[in-house]
């Protein structure tokens, strides 16, 4: 029997369309973190991210069942486009831009896999994660979008430019300015700490 | 780790030169965009070699690349996961 985890996406899709449920589990497992991270960092609200994540995969599954997936495209960019469109639809419906935040006491990072850390180490680790999340949150939406799609979703700059209908240099430029902004924020914090 | 950290060779202080019709030699420096694509392993062999030489040979480029990698390493820390409950609901739909 073929090992699912070594099969490529195209074969897994074909297998699922032939009725093998294990194939879709493998695809979900393979891409859940990238797709969830993308949604979460765009909407910045855990509960909403979980809902949109479920909706995305349900739409993906329905499209696969109805043979609407073209093998010409790669699975991940296609799946991310579905997730991204659902996020944009949500903002349109709500007529708002992504400004919602998790409450202080309820953090998405509560569900991060815990490595063996003692309480003090865990606290430092949690602080670091919260710090990075705050850096990402402070970026303008267009820059944040590119950072998320490149770093967390794992799309190439070319794939991002196709997905967002922008020039590849625009995608690279947004990423570059995002990095500069984050670097600047890190340096400011270090100066403040020294003072 | 989602990005590529290349092997540094600081001992090789090589700058890269090309022939130009107007100027005999012109130094090719890596742009910030080149560094970004290089950090994410999106450059081909020849381009990667050019960029690595630029990093090795130019202290300013080296500093820029080092700061870029440092920010990307921080981003690596914060990758959230969906809940098991979400996965269960999706699988129920299959």
* Structure confidence by residue, pLDDT tens digits, B41-81: 999 999 999 999 999 999 999 999 999 999 998 898 888 88
Average pLDDT value for chain B: 75
pLDDT at B5 over 80: no
Chain A and chain B share a number of CB contacts under 8 A equal to 102
Ramachandran quadrant class, A156 (left: phi over 0; alpha: psi -120 to 50; beta: rest)? beta
Residue A134, Cα to own-chain centre: how many angstroms? 16
B81 touches chain A (CB under 8 A): yes
pLDDT in the model for residue A124: 77
Residues in A whose CB is inside 8 Å of some CB of B read 21, 24-25, 28, 32-33, 36-37, 40, 46, 49-50, 53-54, 57-58, 61, 108-109, 111-113, 128-129, 132-133, 135-136, 147, 150-152, 154, 156-158, 169, 172-173, 175-176, 179, 182-183, 186
Task: Measure in Å the smallest separation between the Cα of A92 and chain B Cα atoms.
Answer: 24
Q: Span A101-122, mean pLDDT?
A: 51
pLDDT at A9 over 80: yes
Task: Measure in Å the smallest separation between the Cα of B31 and chain A Cα atoms.
Answer: 10
Evaluate whether B48 touches B38 at the Cβ level (below 8 Å): yes
pLDDT in the model for residue B25: 41
When CB atoms are compared, the residue of A132, A150, A154 closest to B77 is: A132
Q: Which residue of B30, B68, B78, B81 is the best one to mutate when testing the A interface, meaning the one whose CB has the most A CBs within 10 A? A: B78
pLDDT in the model for residue B30: 60
pLDDT in the model for residue A116: 52
* Structure confidence by residue, pLDDT tens digits, A173-187: 999 999 999 999 988
pLDDT at A2 over 80: no
Confidence band (pLDDT; 50, 70, 90) for B16? very low
Q: Span A142-161, mean pLDDT?
A: 94
Name the percent of chain A lying above pLDDT 70.
84
pLDDT at B89 over 60: yes
Buried/exposed code over A109-143 (b: 16+ C-beta within 10 A; e: otherwise): bebbeeeeeeeeeeeebeeebeebbebbeebeeeb
């Amino acid at each position: 029997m073929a090992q699912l985890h070594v099969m490529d996406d195209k074969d897994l899709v074909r297998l699922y369309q032939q009725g093998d449920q294990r194939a879709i589990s493998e695809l979900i497992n393979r891409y859940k973190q990238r797709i969830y991270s993308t949604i979460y960092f765009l909407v910045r609200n855990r509960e909403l991210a979980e809902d949109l994540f479920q909706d995305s995969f349900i739409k993906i599954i329905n499209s696969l069942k109805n043979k609407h997936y073209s093998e010409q495209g790669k699975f991940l960019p296609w799946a991310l486009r579905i997730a991204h469109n659902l996020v944009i639809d949500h903002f349109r419906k709500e007529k708002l831009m992504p400004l919602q935040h998790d409450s202080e006491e309820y953090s998405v990072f509560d569900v991060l896999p815990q490595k063996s850390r003692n309480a003090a180490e865990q606290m430092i680790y949690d602080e670091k994660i919260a710090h990075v999340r705050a850096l990402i949150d402070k970026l303008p939406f267009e820059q944040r979008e590119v950072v998320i799609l490149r770093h967390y979703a794992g799309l190439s700059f070319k794939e991002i430019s196709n997905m967002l209908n922008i020039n590849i240099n625009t995608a690279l430029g947004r990423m570059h300015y995002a990095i500069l902004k984050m670097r600047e924020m890190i340096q400011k914090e270090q100066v403040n700490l020294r003072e | 780790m989602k990005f590529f950290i290349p092997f540094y060779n600081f001992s090789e202080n090589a700058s890269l030169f090309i022939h130009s019709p107007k100027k005999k030699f012109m130094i090719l420096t890596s742009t910030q965009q080149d560094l970004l694509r290089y950090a994410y392993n999106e450059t081909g062999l020849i381009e990667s070699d050019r960029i690595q030489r630029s990093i090795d040979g130019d202290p300013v480029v080296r500093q820029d690349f080092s700061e870029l990698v440092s920010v990307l390493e921080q981003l690596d820390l914060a990758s959230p996961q969906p809940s098991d409950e979400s996965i269960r609901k999706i699988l129920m739909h299959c």
